[in-house]
């Protein structure tokens, strides 16, 4: 998978990348979108172009600085994650002892969070492809998540990151399940918004796996039967792999110590904990009060500078400690990630103050807040938009 940030030389729509997938949406060289988002309406085309050049310069600076320290960082994180997973599964083998069960489940939960967030998500974005390590590469990594890596790269890297929060183009706005914007017509089923979201959280990996099948596109004739069957086959293989590892192999070995049932419950719990955490982090990066959504007209004819602006005002950060940032996969720096999805995640903290200063100077909002505030804000929007005639303040 190549760099996902639309660049000055973004491939034209329809050119194959990443196998049979295509990368949509070539950016305009100059001018402005059909309608500029209200939060950026005060900016001239020249100001937007200059903003784009400033952000390009930040990206180029980081690209030039990547080196052995960054490579050592990701290798260290992978080593820690594997140590946590091995230790967690080992403890679950004797989890008839309650202390061992708590220890094993906790360590395995941490391992799964670290693998999905700071390792898998970022490796699959191509952040570490420059190392040319075949074991840490976007084309070879298969993560500890039910949805196959390649399917996720298409819906996430190619589509979501190109059309961030554009209602009608970015299906991540509600994942075809929730009403998350007032532009989305209200239906009686939306009354169940909070219920659906509460169910989605502990089952998040399964929700994403179904979403990545693009069933809506298939129903609308935008996806062929052959493509759907291919994706179903890939998903089936991945499900077998995940079930074998978590719900067959570990409990089977644990049966030797009479801990089979406890080990099964431990792996189920670890997956649920990881899912709830990933769900919270991702929703907090896209849906709290203060994040904007966009019409298709606001994306038509946008330049690189306009695309940058949409990423900044359509995303939100989570403030917190360095450990919290690592455990979120540095998606606590969601604004910086949406601007530069191919930069090493350990560099986002360095980039963030510069991005914030640019936002202030150009009169653009920079939405951030502690985790509990962002979670509460997101759930508030979910409840508001469940009701007819209710809108969420942006």
Q: Is the residue at 261 inside a domain?
A: yes
Q: Is the residue at 80 inside a domain?
A: yes
| Cβ neighbours for 259, distance < 8 A, ≥ 6 positions apart | 92, 93, 94, 95, 96, 97, 100
Residue 104 belongs to what domain range? Answer: 38-384
Question: What does the mean pLDDT of the chain come to?
Answer: 92
Task: Give CA–CA dist 123/139, Å, rounded.
Answer: 9
How would you label 192-210 residue by residue, b for 16+ Cβ within 10 Å and e otherwise?
Answer: ebeebbeebbbbbbbbbbb
Q: Is the residue at 391 inside a domain?
A: no
Q: Is the residue at 173 inside a domain?
A: yes
% of the chain surpassing 90 pLDDT: 91
12 has a pLDDT exceeding 90:
no
pLDDT score of 147: 97
Q: Is the residue at 244 inside a domain?
A: yes
- Calculate mean pLDDT across residues 335-349: 97
pLDDT score of 390: 55
Nearest by Cα to 104 from 89, 117, 119: 89
Tokens standing for residue 75: 């290798």
- Calculate mean pLDDT across residues 207-214: 96
**pLDDT tens-digit series, residues 22-68:** 456 789 898 999 999 999 999 999 999 999 999 999 999 999 999 99
**Residue 277: how many CB atoms within 10 A of its CB?**
20
Task: Give CA–CA dist 23/159, Å, rounded.
Answer: 8
**pLDDT tens-digit series, residues 130-176:** 999 999 999 999 999 999 999 999 999 999 999 999 999 999 999 99
| Cβ neighbours for 312, distance < 8 A, ≥ 6 positions apart | 335, 338, 339, 355, 359, 364, 366
Q: Is the residue at 1 inside a domain?
A: no
Q: Is the residue at 338 inside a domain?
A: yes
pLDDT score of 18: 36
Beta-bridge partner residues of 166:
294
pLDDT bucket at 10, cuts 50 / 70 / 90: very low
pLDDT score of 391: 52
What domain count does the chain have? 1
Could you tell me the maximum CA-CA distance found in the chain, to the nearest angstrom? Answer: 70
pLDDT score of 14: 33
Alpha helices in the chain (DSSP H): 45-65, 68-92, 98-114, 121-124, 149-152, 193-200, 204-211, 215-219, 225-243, 250-254, 260-286, 304-313, 322-327, 334-339, 348-361, 371-384
H or E segment to which residue 165 belongs: none
Q: What is the pTM of this model?
A: 0.91
Tokens standing for residue 124: 């699959």
Whole-number Cα distances in Å, 171 to 159, 245, 278 = 8, 31, 18
365 contacts 313 by C-beta, under 8 angstroms: yes
Q: Is the residue at 390 inside a domain?
A: no
**pLDDT tens-digit series, residues 295-334:** 999 999 999 999 999 999 999 999 999 999 999 999 999 9
392 has a pLDDT exceeding 80:
no
pLDDT score of 317: 98
**Residue 380: how many CB atoms within 10 A of its CB?**
15
Task: Give CA–CA dist 142/252, Å, rounded.
Answer: 24
């Amino acid at each position: 998978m190549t760099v996902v940030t639309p660049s000055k030389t973004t491939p034209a729509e329809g050119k194959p990348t990443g196998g049979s997938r295509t990368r949509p949406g070539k950016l305009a060289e100059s001018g402005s979108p059909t309608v500029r988002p209200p939060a950026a309406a005060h900016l001239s085309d020249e100001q937007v172009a200059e903003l784009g050049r400033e952000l390009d310069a930040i990206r180029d600076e980081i690209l030039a600085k990547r080196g052995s320290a960054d490579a050592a960082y990701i290798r260290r994180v992978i080593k820690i994650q594997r140590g946590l997973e091995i230790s967690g599964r080992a403890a679950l083998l004797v989890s008839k002892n309650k202390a061992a069960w708590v220890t094993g489940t906790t360590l395995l939960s941490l391992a799964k969070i670290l693998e999905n967030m700071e390792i898998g998500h970022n490796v699959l974005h191509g952040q570490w492809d420059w190392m040319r390590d075949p074991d840490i590469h976007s084309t070879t990594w298969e993560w500890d998540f039910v949805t196959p890596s390649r399917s996720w790269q298409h819906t996430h890297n190619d589509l979501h990151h190109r059309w961030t929060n554009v209602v009608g183009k970015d299906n991540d706005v509600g994942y075809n399940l929730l009403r998350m914007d007032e532009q989305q017509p209200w239906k009686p089923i939306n009354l169940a918004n909070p219920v659906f979201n509460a169910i989605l959280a502990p089952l998040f990996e399964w929700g994403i796996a179904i979403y990545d099948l693009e069933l809506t596109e298939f129903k609308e004739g935008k996806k062929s039967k052959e493509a759907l069957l291919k994706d179903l086959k890939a998903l089936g293989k991945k499900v077998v792999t995940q079930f074998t590892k978590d719900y067959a192999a570990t409990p089977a070995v644990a049966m030797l110590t009479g801990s089979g049932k406890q080990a099964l419950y431990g792996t189920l719990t670890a997956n649920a904990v990881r899912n709830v955490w990933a769900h919270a982090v991702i929703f907090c990066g896209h849906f709290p009060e203060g994040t904007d959504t966009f019409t298709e007209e606001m994306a038509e004819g946008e330049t690189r500078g306009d695309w940058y602006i949409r990423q900044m005002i359509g995303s939100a950060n989570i403030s917190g400690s360095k450990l919290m940032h690592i455990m979120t996969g540095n998606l606590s720096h969601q604004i910086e990630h949406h601007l530069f999805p191919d930069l090493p995640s350990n560099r986002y903290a360095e980039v963030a103050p510069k991005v914030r200063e640019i936002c202030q100077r150009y009169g653009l909002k920079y939405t951030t807040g502690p985790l509990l505030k962002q979670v509460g804000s997101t759930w508030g929007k979910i409840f508001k938009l469940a009701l007819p005639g209710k809108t969420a303040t942006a």
